[in-house]
Amino acid sequence: MNDSPLQVLTLPTSPYPDQRPGTNGLRKKTHVFQSKKNYLHNFIQCIFSSIDLRDRQGSTMVVGGDGRYFNSTAIQVIVQMAAANGVGRVVIGQNGIMSTPAVSCVIRKIKAIGGIILTASHNPGGPDGDFGIKFNTANGGPAPEAVTNKIFQLSRTIEEFAICPELRVDLGTIGKQSFDLENKFKPFTVEIVDPVESYANSLRNIFDFAVLKELLSGDNHIQIRLDAMHGVIGPYVKKILCEELGSPANSVINCVPLEDFGGRHPDPNLTYATDLVETMKSGQYDFGAAFDGDGDRNMILGKHGFFVNPSDSVAIIAANIFCIPYFQHTGVRGFARSMPTSAALDMVARATKIQLYETPTGWRFFGSLMDAGRLSLCGEESFGTGSDYIREKDGLWAVLAWLSILAARRQSVDDIMTDHWRTYGRNYYTRFDYEEVDLDAAVEMMLDLELMISDRAFIGQVFTVGKKKYQVEAADNFEYSDPVDGTISRNQGLRIIFKGGSRIIFRLSGTDSFGATVRLYIDSYEKDMNKLFQDPQVALAELVTIALQLSLIHERTGRRGPTVIT
């Protein structure tokens, strides 16, 4: 403990107009946090100020990050401000590293008041990359809209922040550090913890590690290849998959977290995880997976690079859910997917007579259902899957779920997938991302589209492309009424629904640091056994043509084509 009490200061500041948190917190270019005076301090103060002072005093908070550039610097500021704002204890992953799922897990286990996660998820890192700050509440999940709105309102009027500038924390040494602060009766405590262990303990209680160890290192073990993409999940897969479950050390790659993710885009999809995709095409490995920067997203691949669409992935887990011991004990309360996610999960829910919820994009909507005991398994098309043991999507959980299914069924990934399509039908699905487009142009395009589809004459309209005809059955701007608390979320995406279940969806994304991203989603259900094995881009070509004709997205955004196709 330091000999003399540390000074707590209240310093003047001026507000910024652009600190509205999106669905995954506040994300900006790193230089914005570094170069704008008190930009970081303002937002952190607003997080603390959003918590009632009586709840904040003496409370525990969890802090972790994905290891990207500026992570350690920001953590030091957060700790200094936590101490000055009455927080009694801060729990931090060693070296400032802790995956988003692990932060959620630790918040729930130690009953913390919340946590601050430093990540821009799948966005690039480094001095020229992105940085982000996300606040999770006491349930372990992303702050609900009422809280993020409060943070934003505070950020527009902030005049001062509290800080203990002389407080410095050793992030590298596991253990407790105590600090005396002036006018404080109890010392302020910082606890540096192993970022993996508490989370790993939870997974041991969910999955049968003995069965998984036999699958990965027994006499007839499968060959796997996991790419951590130099994100936070590297130490987790090495500890759990290699050291504990016996998979060879060379089965996991890019496991050292780097500030710039090795100069790569830490996004687990076919566009950015190309090294893994090419390696899987060789046929040497039976199962492959990639993870994003903060460890909450995943991509699943089978032998010869067989790609499992994320919408199909959650449907497969749902259809085989009792291969996971956790659900054998808890039962299944409900399934959920985000609105833009394909309806593959709906088919499983219908067949099993399990309640299905369709929510807006954003994991917090799932968390509300989980807290009410209504939801067990959920997923998003953006490579996110998870269950009710925490309140975040969880890439490693999804991989262990898949491995549990492989162990139980003793089939290949592609055989499991094709059996599923034969049983439930197939939802052909694709997403086009138009990134960093002019915000005004994107907003104007969306407004014009909404005006078009809101016209009564639009319903019933028939679109003909080649030999195919599509008749509009419904169209709207998706609105969600939370069945738990009645909260209404409007303007969640434009939907055009055709007879037979095909859908075209347009949505503006809220997770980018510069410009706007327009996302176009195409979903089409097929139950004809003779049409289950087409290339998705071929199967969906007519619907894509209709979407481009309706939106004029290339002309309106100045883009000849999307940045990313999944």
Residues marked active site are found at 121
Rounded Cα–Cα distance for residues 502 and 305 (Å): 27
Task: Retrieve residue 562's tokens.
Answer: 């999307």
Asked whether 90 and 60 are in contact (CB, 8 A), the reply is: yes
Q: Are 23 and 59 in contact (CB under 8 A)?
A: no
d(CA 162, CA 148): 20
Phi, psi for residue 227 in degrees, rounded to 5: -115, 110
CB 150 within 8 A of CB 66: no
Q: How far apart are CA 308 and CA 279, in angstroms?
A: 16
**How many angstroms separate the CA atoms of 227 and 292, rounded?**
9
Q: What does the alpha-carbon distance between residue 522 and residue 540 come to, in Å, rounded to a whole number?
A: 7
Contact 92/40 with Cβ under 8 angstroms? no
391's tokens: 């309140």
- Structure-token pair, residue 155: 């950020």
Asked whether the beta carbons of 231 and 294 are under 8 A apart, the reply is yes
Q: What is the dihedral of CA 150, 155, 157, 160, to 10 degrees?
A: 120
Cβ neighbours, 10 Å, residue 325: 15
* 3-state SS, residue 558: coil
> Position of tokens 């204890």?
89
DSSP state letter for 480? E
Supply angle C-alpha 161, 166, 171, rounded to 5.
100
Q: How many angstroms separate the CA atoms of 456 and 458, rounded? A: 5
Amino acid at 65: G
Q: How many CB atoms are located within 10 Å of the residue 218 CB?
A: 13
CB neighbours of residue 423 within 10 Å:
11
SS3 434: strand
Amino acid found at 331: G
- The CA angle 139-142-146, to the nearest 5 degrees, is 95
DSSP 528: -
Residue type present at position 126: G
